[in-house]
Amino acid sequence: MSAAALEPNADKGQLFEVPRVSVLVDDSDPTILRLVFSGFYELDRDNAGQVESYNALKAGRESTLSITVRVAGTQKGHRLDSEGDLADIVEAKRLVVSDVFFDLVEPEE
């Protein structure tokens, strides 16, 4: 038996001809990048600095925090326009907050 006879032949024994399908690699370039946050952080009520920083957080006022996150996963999706055509390719990283660091707060007068 020759070596060619032992090699697999994908077309041998088929009842009808099946066209070959090539696999395309997804090399999409997202038009929108998002960071999606979830989770919570419990403050230490015995830590005066954390309690003071917490009390300084006021509705409607911006505050600066430094956070540590764990990357929970990646989501890919798309948005269509009103005509059903592709408008945006959206990619998002899901982040879970694991630690919070407050900037020093100046005492209120």
Residue range 82-87: mean pLDDT, rounded: 87
Contact by Cβ (8 Å): 78, 89: yes
- Residue 63: its pLDDT value, please? 87
- Residue 67: its pLDDT value, please? 92
Please tell me the distance from the alpha carbon of residue 40 to that of residue 71, in angstroms, as a whole number.
14
Q: Where are the domains of the chain?
A: 31-56+63-109
Residue range 44-67: mean pLDDT, rounded: 91
Contact by Cβ (8 Å): 79, 90: yes
Contact by Cβ (8 Å): 69, 97: yes
